Structure 1
């Protein structure tokens, strides 16, 4: 079943659904990157939406500033807020840079914050190899002191404010757990250019401070190395003042494509299969 991005997808078997999963993509990644994951998540009995980050679209034309983090966050917030207004319990699944977008977008939308006000709200966020700046920090600064990650993220070029990587680099860094030829195919079909501005704008609201987090560590990630992911877990715990639910898998940077079963396991866990009282869908 095809997914229309930024348009609500409802199951014909369940009208209306009380839960929703919102997938917030990584930089460089088109919504098509997540369609297989969305199909699997829908089988759990939930409405599923994939956000299209405006910053991941390519040059906008002469005289038009490239979209940035705040454009991405405003777009994601519109979708999430609409679901909350429909009294839905929302699980956000955010991939890498998508964590920055999700964190910026959820001010005032957490289930715990809306207790007594609304039956809906964001119950939990699942971070997949998530990049987590401190509040007031930006994506680029989050890599400070980690030469390996900075080298992997170094752009191959830039045009009109949009960065690009070669398919060969994407195959090597993002799809390292599958044959190289398969990685090249993924890079050619589900990746695109990325606005540099999105990596430079600062996080003004640390949504992970008020909404519980499950963090999926990608143990074979060559883009956001595991040691850096562990550091990001520490950022969440320091800001939130509570432990992060951590799950570790030996997957590369793009498990929604190369290891979807592991991601679905994490979604089930985040959605209540392990008994979380604030998010019990399953």
Structure 2
């Protein structure tokens, strides 16, 4: 796979819990300026009573609309439906897990943390307290506050549903560890990143697409170039 203008893959960007496709806007602006095609999705589990399979279906539907190879970038919880969906997709050339859950068959988000199933698995997880320092510690204050205002409750079922297929077993993957992350501990990330074929690190908090979109875009370009060799 070449990264020239005629053979570049498209990026499909998949957001994490409580978020929406809006969170990628700073990054997509940079990628578009450099000639990359990008697509995003809105996962139904953010704001609606939907689970991993519902989210995976949305990812699969968007993949089917893209001509040519695709690099899927999954942030945080987004790694779960991406892991599920990519197992059924033929167009995915690479998966990039950004501070994300690269789960194995039978694992769930809460299960991976050793947490019990909550008493109301069909309810919602509210937006965490103090989301700005949790998710956007390194972002410009105005951007962080604007992002926090757009967060919505997350379906509990998305955290309890288990993965029934793991696409990273057959599709090459790269993990990006966010070394200053306050939402998903760097130690957790380093441990789960051993499942990926390559690992990169950013000295940043949980959301580099907001705090350092230029550097993050450059890293994605590097990952695509490395995967083409």
Give your verdict on TM over 0.5: yes
Residue pairs, 1:14-25, within 5 angstroms: 19-25=9-15
SS of the residue corresponding to residue 23 of structure 1 reads strand
User: Could you say if the C-alpha distance between residues 104 and 229 of structure 1 is closer, same or farther in structure 2, counting changes exceeding 3 Å?
Assistant: same
Q: Which residue of 2 aligns with 1:97?
A: 77
Distance 1:17 1:141, change over 3 A: same
d(CA) in 2 for partners of 1:164, 1:206: 28
TM-score, length of structure 1 as denominator length: 0.72
* Corresponding residue for residue 263 of structure 1: 216
Hey, what's the Cα distance between the residues in 1 that align with 2:176 and 2:29? 20
SS at match of 1:123: strand
Contact 1:128 1:217 in 2 (8 A): yes
Aligned partner of residue 109 in structure 1, secondary structure:
coil
* Structure 2 contact 10–37 (Cα < 8 Å) conserved: yes
Match of 2:33 among 18, 39, 43: 43
Q: What is the CA distance between 1:179 and its match in structure 2? A: 6.0
Q: CA deviation at 1:200?
A: 0.6
Contact 1:124–1:270 (CA under 8 A) maintained in structure 2: no
* Structure-2 separation of matches of 1:55 and 1:29: 10
Q: State the number of aligned residues.
A: 223
Match 2:87 to one of 107, 112, 132:
107
Structure 1 residue 57: Cα displacement: 2.5
* Residue among 120, 123, 133 paired with 1:172: 133
The Cα of 1:192 is off from its aligned counterpart by: 1.4
Select which of 30, 41, 44 maps to 1:54. 44
Higher relative CO (CA 8 A, sep ≥ 6), structure 1 or 2?
2
- TM-score normalised to the size of structure 2? 0.88
- Answer yes or no: is the 8 Å Cα contact 1:17–1:47 preserved in 2: no
Secondary structure class of the residue paired with 1:202 = coil
Mind listing any 5+ residue stretches in structure 2 that lack a counterpart?
none
**Alignment partner of 1:253 is 2:225:** no
Contact kept? 1:217, 1:249, Cα under 8 Å: yes
Structure 1 residue 20, shift from structure 2 partner: 1.5
SS of residue matched to 2:188: helix
Paired position in structure 2 for 1:211: 171
For residues 65 and 145 of structure 2, the distance between their equivalents in structure 1, rounded to whole angstroms, comes to 37
Deviations 1:145-174 (A, max 9, x none): 8xxxx9xxxx9xx9x7222125x5211211
Residues in 2 aligned to 1:165 and 1:94: alpha-carbon distance in whole angstroms = 20
Name the Cα RMSD after superposition: 2.6
Residue 187 of structure 1: which of 117, 123, 148 is its match?
A: 148
Give the match for residue 27 of structure 1.
17
The alpha carbon displacement at 1:180 in A equals: 5.8
